Chain A
Amino acid sequence: MDRLRRDFNTVTLVLIPLAIAINIAVGQLVVAAKVPLYLDSIGTVLVGLLAGPWAGLVTGLLANVIWGLSGLNTFATPFAIVAGVIGMMAGLFGGWRWFKRVWLWLIGGVLTGVVAALLSAPISAYLFGGVTGSGQDFLVAFFRATGASVIQATFGQGIVADPLDKLASFLVVYLVVRALPSRFLQRFPRAKNVSG
């Protein structure tokens, strides 16, 4: 309980809206630039790493709900749980000090991607038939053309796209945090994940 309160100190509370805004801004930018990744979890991973798994969970959940409520991208909201799990996993890997070794951290990214694919496939298949208007629909089309069912094609698309996307997100977070001064990082509840 005490750790929970420490995880959600004022600095975390300031970080979370920023992380959510980054998620949305980069997520929208990537669609506009027609890059075939989501890149809408960078903020979530950052919060998980710096403020622990619960903060990561909250960030992920709220980010997708707010994104949907803002009217910019209603398709984001049903995946709020997936985003929450991503934040949670980033926090867990951070807590296990995986950030200290680059390759371990990136493996964490791939693992997070796999879990995200597993969780989001049923949601996407049921609500959207696997098609979300994003740049990855061609993957779904490919799988469907080779005879896969809707859920199989959706999972096929997810298992290709998600680990790549989370790997890229984890990498970006790694590069950015490494560029931050150590004194600054000490403010965050889980500073031990990244320094010392």
Chain B
Amino acid sequence: MNPLTKLVLAGFLLVLGLAVPWPGTYVLFIALILPLALAGRILKPFLVALFKLITPFAVPMILIQGLFWTGGTPVIGEGPLSLKAEGLLFSAASIGRILILASSFLLLSLSTRTDILMRDLVQRGLPNQLLYIVVTSLQILPRLQARARTILDAQRSRGLETEGNLFHRLRAVVPLVGPLLLSSLIDVEERALALEGRAFNRPGPRTSLIEISDTRREALARIGLSVAAVVIFVIRIAWALVS
């Protein structure tokens, strides 16, 4: 499937998911998103990643909105330590929205290689520099994280306090981030020179070695989905304005 189609599809699901009122988000999830994940053969990693993302959010949400909803009607428990119905309802709606938000992003990121998506966009006219920025960021990230771990170990072995009370942890930030930033900035100059030597910033068309497939049917589907998304968006805004 063409990567741009996947992007448009994710966008459509997002707009649809944010537009429908609350029970609809769960229906959408079960009816549309899960089958899509299944079709893309990413169901298991999708569910695992989704669970890891949603739980740290859902649990505090239910607790906070449930316990502290002003003037709510208690549903579970007694008195001040009870979960209020309005809070639970609000949590359900919010979690539903987050579910759609996270799902559309996860569907996109698990099924698409970012560099292929960017390359497709560039072939359609996206500036080359943007492709470079996005792809390089994702490439550098793991190396940077590894370097951060090295610096953490090195500073710890010199006696830096990184556990324990809040104050210690806060004070540890500068000795960790500082060297990370400095060591990363050192080769900025060399990289820039290397890019200049390859006529990076000069305007003009470029030829790509990678061929990305695209069919007429997908192009039509993209247009259809985009139009549908705009229509849904307009309807939702109109509905909000009249009610």
B residues in contact with A167, CB < 8 Å: none
Partner among B57, B108, B137, B174 whose Cβ is within 8 Å of the Cβ of A175: B174
Query: Interface code A146-187, partner B: CB below 8 Å = 1, 0 otherwise?
Result: 011110000000000000000010011001100110001001
Given A13-B200, A18-B140, A144-B68, A128 and B57 touching (CB < 8 A)? yes
Most central of A14, A144, A145 by chain B CB within 10 Å: A14
A residues in contact with B188, CB < 8 Å: 11, 14-15, 18, 187
Q: Min CB distance, A66 to chain B, in Å? A: 5
B residues in contact with A15, CB < 8 Å: 185, 188
Q: Min CB distance, A67 to chain B, in Å? A: 9
A39, B173: Cβ atoms closer than 8 Å: yes
A residues in contact with B8, CB < 8 Å: none
Residue of B nearest to A179 (CB): B182
Residue of A nearest to B102 (CB): A74
A13, B173: Cβ atoms closer than 8 Å: no
User: What is the bound-complex CA distance between A179 and B177, given in angstroms?
Assistant: 13
User: What is the bound-complex CA distance between A78 and B102, given in angstroms?
Assistant: 11
Given A75-B57, A128-B94, A9 and B201 touching (CB < 8 A)? yes
A90 within 8 A of B: no
Q: Min CB distance, B141 to chain A, in Å? A: 5
Given A10-B200, A29-B148, A71-B105, A35 and B173 touching (CB < 8 A)? yes
B57, A66: Cβ atoms closer than 8 Å: no
A residues in contact with B139, CB < 8 Å: 17
User: What is the bound-complex CA distance between A20 and B64, given in angstroms?
Assistant: 32
B178, A180: Cβ atoms closer than 8 Å: no
B195, A74: Cβ atoms closer than 8 Å: no
Given A10-B201, A69-B109, A176-B182, A62 and B174 touching (CB < 8 A)? no
Query: Interface code B133-152, partner A: CB below 8 Å = 1, 0 otherwise?
Result: 11011111100110010000
A25, B90: Cβ atoms closer than 8 Å: no
User: B29-37, B162-170, B204-212, B213-221: which one contacts chain A?
Assistant: B162-170
Partner among B101, B130, B162 whose Cβ is within 8 Å of the Cβ of A74: B101
User: What is the bound-complex CA distance between A145 and B63, given in angstroms?
Assistant: 12
A residues in contact with B189, CB < 8 Å: 11, 184, 187
Interface residues of A in 108-150 (CB under 8 A from B): 127-133, 137, 140-141, 144-145, 147-150
Residue of B nearest to A71 (CB): B109
Interface residues of B in 172-202 (CB under 8 A from A): 172-174, 176-178, 180-182, 184-185, 188-189, 191-192, 195-196, 200-201
Most central of A26, A30, A69 by chain B CB within 10 Å: A69
Q: Min CB distance, B224 to chain A, in Å? A: 24
A35, B174: Cβ atoms closer than 8 Å: no
Please provide the 5 A-B residue pairs with the shortest distance between their CB atoms, ordered closest to farther.
A144-B68, A17-B136, A133-B56, A133-B57, A71-B109
Interface residues of A (CB under 8 A from B): 8-11, 13-18, 20-22, 24-26, 28-30, 33-37, 39, 42, 46, 62-63, 66, 68-71, 73-75, 77-78, 127-133, 137, 140-141, 144-145, 147-150, 168, 171-172, 175-176, 179-180, 184, 187
Interface residues of B (CB under 8 A from A): 49, 53, 56-57, 60-61, 63-65, 67-70, 90-91, 94, 97-98, 101-102, 105-106, 108-110, 114, 129-130, 132-134, 136-141, 144-145, 148, 162, 166, 169-170, 172-174, 176-178, 180-182, 184-185, 188-189, 191-192, 195-196, 200-201
